Structure 1
Amino acid sequence: MKIGVEDFYRIRFISDLEPGKDDIYFVITESVKKRNDYESRIWSLKDLNEFTSGPRDSSPKISPDGKYMSFLRKIESKVSIMRIPLKGGESVQIAQRKDVSSLKWSKKGNKLFFISNQEEKSDDVKIIKRYPFYFNGKGFIYNKRPTLFSINLDGRIKKITDSPYIVQDYDVSINDEVAAILSIDGQKLYWNNLYIIRGRKMEKLPMEGSFSDVEFSPDGRYIAFTYSDNSSSIFQHRRLYIYDIYKKSAKCLTCDMDISIGNSINSDSRMGMGKHIKWLNDSLYFLANEGGSSSIFSVDIKKFRHKKILSGEISIDFFHPSRDGIYMIAQRINEPQEIYRDDEKLTSFNKYFIGLQKPRNFRFRASDGEEVEGWALLNEKRDSPSILEIHGGPKTSYGNAFMFEFYLLFSSGYNVIFMNPRGSDGYSEKFALQIKGHYGERDYLDIMEGLDYCMKNFNLDKGKLGVTGGSYGGFMTNWIIGHNDMFKAAVTQRSISNQISFFGTSDIGPEFNGDQIGGAPFDNIENYWEKSPLKYAGNVKTPLLIIHSDEDYRCPIEQAYQLFTALKFFNREVEMAIFPGENHDLSRSGKPNHRVKRLELIRDWFIDHLNPKD
């Protein structure tokens, strides 16, 4: 089976898994080519029918008594909080604001909680005092403060948090206590704190570092969360903890496991992901990656014993443990998302893509003895050109998740090689942190040695190679072509070219580069320049296509401008495609027609420079 670029519009994105008393609800999102936008509706698993009319509905939340659903409906530039009876009837609007996220019912069912921005007054001149002043996907945030609110069912709103706090996540207990992950003005990115809020009183847990995924136990005694103290790196493995409210003590539940909580497997065919920890009675379930696959574990908090509940060649995006099994929104390496109960597939929304060839999994020993994992999507004609794909992060991974881009290139006549070099997630913490301060060293060797392994073991043509990647993968693409001329074509996307300017222009620059490159350019400028692909622009011989978005605040577009200008200065073959109104997540959540155009540009650049035979 072959797929074309227009088949992107066939993908059905499944998200927002929400259990009811006798049903499971979820959201289906589809791309609408004519409107160049997305439409989303809430569905019932029991009936496999649409439950809401859309066209932009999301975040279904079932009331504790099981009688009502609240959800969010986007109408033009505003978001409405809606409520609808589950047994039938019309939805009613409770409130409408510019933005709403993280909607939840109180455990008593008498009110809802949500996060929304408080906005300070501003005119066309931006007077900026806070850092960061912009953030990828959110735009300028210097005058916005994510705040926690509650709202009664009659529409009366109450503010729970205020300046100087910024809300990142929260949960509400059976006693109406709030556990909130908050940062404060001036606090470093990647650092925050966990607070228990009781009325006007706030109690901060005595732990410093990075918190996420906060969840109260059903009885309200424990707060579960994932945590890293960031003592070695911002990319340390995240561990699972519980905090006993009665004893005022925290306990790590996974410190004896060398895995990180969450799912970091890359996919261009999902719309968001759910929380990585869930309670079921006295057991706490959590999601983690093992290699390129997702696994679900549980911990009995009375015995503090964990066990693996579910694993396999799968990527789990949302999950819900129940008495009759674990419901999941999951995908496979050659199949987009569907809903499963344990190993049983319950839906077929993406049946068009069934039958795609499964890539070959391989492992090789790097030159220092470490085992590295990868995959090869191989055409029948082994002399076909090959494209090396490099993931971003760097602490993410490739694996058993669907990549439409890979299958488009494969269907266009290419072999596609992808792997998890040092720095990737899903393996030991040492494996992930080994590239800290050493970009372009062991990671580069792993990639090149892995490619050499594929050339030898799969009899691929060394004279027909292309390379592409985004974000950190874009950095590595730039690095490779500045240190090696074996590739005949390259596409760098949302990339880093200059570590010095990245420090001062990226929304995460000082914290990210302070950790990954080391220190600041003011006292370490030689090393910053040494780790900048721009330094090696004069060595580049590979024709390069630069793809960047003009509202990318993670890897700002000045990175693309500098690289383009340098290569033009050296009279190299280079083109640049700038996507207006898009950000760092163009390939994952950009406008549908822009996503298709990006895929066409990548495919056509390789066709023009690698010349695959029919």
Structure 2
Amino acid sequence: MKIGVEDFYRIRFISDLEPGKDDIYFVITESVKKRNDYESRIWSLKDLNEFTSGPRDSSPKISPDGKYMSFLRKIENKVSIMRIPLKGGESVQIAQRKDVSSLKWSKKGNKLFFISNQEEKSDDVKIIKRYPFYFNGKGFIYNKRPTLFSINLDGRIKKITDSPYIVQDYDVSINDEVAAILSIDGQKLYWNNLYIIRGRKMEKLPMEGSFSDVEFSPDGRYIAFTYSDNSSSIFQHRRLYIYDIYKKSAKCLTCDMDISIGNSINSDSRMGMGKHIKWLNDSLYFLANEGGSSSIFSVDIKKFRHKKILSGEISIDFFHPSSDGIYMIAQRINEPQEIYRDNEKLTSFNKYFTGLQKPRNFRFRASDGEEVEGWALLNEKRDSPSILEIHGGPKTSYGNAFMFEFYLLFSSGYNVIFMNPRGSDGYSEKFALQIKGHYGERDYLDIMEGLDYCMKNFNLDKGKLGVTGGSYGGFMTNWIIGHNDMFKAAVTQRSISNQISFFGTSDIGPEFNGDQIGGAPFDNIENYWEKSPLKYAGNVKTPLLIIHSDEDYRCPIEQAYQLFTALKFFNREVEMAIFPGENHDLSRSGKPNHRVKRLELIRDWFIDHLNPKD
């Protein structure tokens, strides 16, 4: 089966898995080409029908008594908090605000909690005092503060947190206690704290580092969370902890496992992901990467024993453990998302893509003896051109998740090679942290040695190679073409070209580069320049297409401008495509028509320079 670029509009994105008493609810999002937008509606798994009318409904939450659903409805530039009876009836608006996220019921069912920006008044001149002052996907945030609120069902709103706190995540106990992950002005970007809020009293847990995924136990005694002390790197493996409120003590449940909590497998065919930890009675279930796959484990908090519950060649985006199995929204390497119970597929929303060829999994020994994993999507004609895809992060991974982009290139006549070099997630912590301070060294060697392995073992043509990647993958694309000329074409996306200016313009610059490059450019400028692909622009011979978004605040567009200007200065073949109104996540959540245009640009650049045969 071959797919074309227009088949992107056929993908149905599944998200927001929410259990009810006798049903499971979820959200289906579809691209609407004519309006260049998305429509989303809440569905019932039991009936396999739409439960809400849309056109922009999300975040279904079932009341504790099982009688009502609350959800969010986006109407133009505002978000409404809605409530609807599950047994039939019209939805009612409880409140409307500019933005609402993280909607939850109180355990008593008499109110809802949510996060919304508390916005300071400002005129057209931006007077900035806070850092970071902008953030990717959120725009300028210098005058906005994510704040926790509660709202009664009659619409009365109460503020739970206030300045200087910024809410990142929270949960509510059976006693209406709030566990909130908060940061404050001036705190380092990858650092936050966990607080227990009882009325006006706030108790901070005596742990410093980075918290996420906070969840109260059903009886309210324990708080589960993932945590890293960031002592070695901001990319340390996250561990699972519980905090005993009665004993005021924390215990690590996974410190004996060299595994990172969560799912970092790349996909361009999902809309968001759920929390990575869930309670079921006295057991905690958690999601973790193992190589290129997701696995679900459980921990009995009385015996402190963990066991693997579910694994396989799958990427799990949302999950819910129950007495009759684990319900999941998941995808496979050659199949977009569907809903599963354990290993049984329950839906066929993306049946159009059934039957796509499965890539070949391979492992090779790098020159230093480390095993590296990868995949190759191979055409029948082995003399077809090959494209090397490089993931971002760097601590993310490729694996058993669907990449529409890869199948489009494959259907256009290319072999597609992708792998998890040093720095990737899903393997040991040492494997992930080995490139810290050493970008362009062992990671570069892994990629080139993996490519050489594919050339030899799959009989691929060394004279017909292209390379592309985004974010860190864009950095590596830039690095590769500045250090060899074996590739006939390259596409760099949302990339880093200059580590010095990245430090001062990226929303994560000082923290990210301080960790990954080392120190600051003010006292380490030689190393910053050494690790900048821009330094090697004069070596580039490979024709390059630069793709960037003008509202990318993660890898700001000045990175693209500098690279383009340098290559023009050296009279190299280079083009630049700028996507207006898009950010760092163009390939994952940009406007549908922009996403399609991006895919066309990548495909056509390689066609023009590699000329695959029909």
Settle same-fold status: TM greater than 0.5. yes
- Cα deviation, residue 201, structure 1: 0.2
SS, match of residue 436 in structure 2 = coil
Q: Deviations over 1:443-462 (max 9, x none)?
A: 00000000000000000000
SS, match of residue 432 in structure 1 = helix
Correspondence 1:38 to 2:38 = yes
Q: Provide the aligned C-alpha RMSD in A.
A: 0.1
SS, match of residue 158 in structure 1 = strand
- Cα deviation, residue 166, structure 1: 0.1
After the TM superposition, which residues 508-523 of structure 1 pair with which residues of structure 2 at under 5 Å, given as runs? 508-523=508-523
Separation in 1, partners of 2:74, 2:199: 31
- Cα deviation, residue 426, structure 1: 0.1
- Cα deviation, residue 67, structure 1: 0.1
Separation in 1, partners of 2:333, 2:356: 9
- Cα deviation, residue 414, structure 1: 0.0
- Cα deviation, residue 463, structure 1: 0.1
Q: Deviations over 1:316-346 (max 9, x none)?
A: 0000000000000000000000000000000
SS, match of residue 483 in structure 1 = coil
- Cα deviation, residue 252, structure 1: 0.1
After the TM superposition, which residues 155-304 of structure 1 pair with which residues of structure 2 at under 5 Å, given as runs? 155-304=155-304
Separation in 2, partners of 1:284, 1:439: 37
Separation in 2, partners of 1:571, 1:417: 30
Q: Deviations over 1:588-612 (max 9, x none)?
A: 0000000000000000000000011
- Cα deviation, residue 47, structure 1: 0.2
- Cα deviation, residue 19, structure 1: 0.1
Figure out how many residues of one structure are paired with residues of the other and give that number.
614
Separation in 1, partners of 2:190, 2:179: 19
- Cα deviation, residue 367, structure 1: 0.0
After the TM superposition, which residues 5-404 of structure 1 pair with which residues of structure 2 at under 5 Å, given as runs? 5-404=5-404
SS, match of residue 191 in structure 2 = coil
- Cα deviation, residue 401, structure 1: 0.0
Separation in 1, partners of 2:577, 2:369: 40
SS, match of residue 502 in structure 1 = helix
Separation in 2, partners of 1:184, 1:138: 18
Separation in 2, partners of 1:96, 1:613: 55
- Cα deviation, residue 40, structure 1: 0.0
Q: Deviations over 1:451-482 (max 9, x none)?
A: 00000000000000000000000000000000
- Cα deviation, residue 202, structure 1: 0.1
Separation in 2, partners of 1:127, 1:305: 53
Separation in 2, partners of 1:478, 1:470: 10
- Cα deviation, residue 542, structure 1: 0.0
Q: Deviations over 1:358-417 (max 9, x none)?
A: 000000000000000000000000000000000000000000000000000000000000
- % identical equivalent positions: 99
- Cα deviation, residue 524, structure 1: 0.0
SS, match of residue 482 in structure 2 = helix
Q: Deviations over 1:559-584 (max 9, x none)?
A: 00000000000000000000000000
Separation in 2, partners of 1:612, 1:65: 60
- Cα deviation, residue 288, structure 1: 0.0
Separation in 2, partners of 1:588, 1:578: 16
- Cα deviation, residue 544, structure 1: 0.0
- 1:554 aligns with 554
Q: Deviations over 1:502-558 (max 9, x none)?
A: 000000000000000000000000000000000000000000000000000000000
- Cα deviation, residue 107, structure 1: 0.3
Separation in 2, partners of 1:612, 1:400: 27
Q: Deviations over 1:255-309 (max 9, x none)?
A: 0000000000000000000000000000000000000000000000000000000
Separation in 1, partners of 2:545, 2:115: 40
Separation in 1, partners of 2:445, 2:214: 38
Runs of 4+ in 1 over 4 A off after TM superposition: none
Separation in 2, partners of 1:613, 1:48: 43
Q: Deviations over 1:199-220 (max 9, x none)?
A: 0000000000000000000000
- Cα deviation, residue 247, structure 1: 0.1
Separation in 2, partners of 1:542, 1:297: 46
Q: Normalised by the size of structure 2, how large is the TM-score? A: 1.00
SS, match of residue 608 in structure 1 = helix
Separation in 2, partners of 1:197, 1:260: 28
- Cα deviation, residue 8, structure 1: 0.1
Separation in 1, partners of 2:30, 2:558: 33
Separation in 2, partners of 1:39, 1:115: 23
Q: Deviations over 1:58-88 (max 9, x none)?
A: 0000000000000000000000000000000
Q: Normalised by the size of structure 1, how large is the TM-score? A: 1.00
Separation in 2, partners of 1:31, 1:68: 29
Separation in 2, partners of 1:419, 1:189: 29
- Cα deviation, residue 102, structure 1: 0.1
- Cα deviation, residue 135, structure 1: 0.0
- 1:529 aligns with 529
- 1:422 aligns with 422
Separation in 1, partners of 2:523, 2:283: 49
Q: Deviations over 1:126-149 (max 9, x none)?
A: 000000000000000000000000
Separation in 2, partners of 1:88, 1:476: 54
Name structure 1 gaps, 5 residues minimum: none
Separation in 2, partners of 1:535, 1:553: 22
Separation in 2, partners of 1:22, 1:283: 22
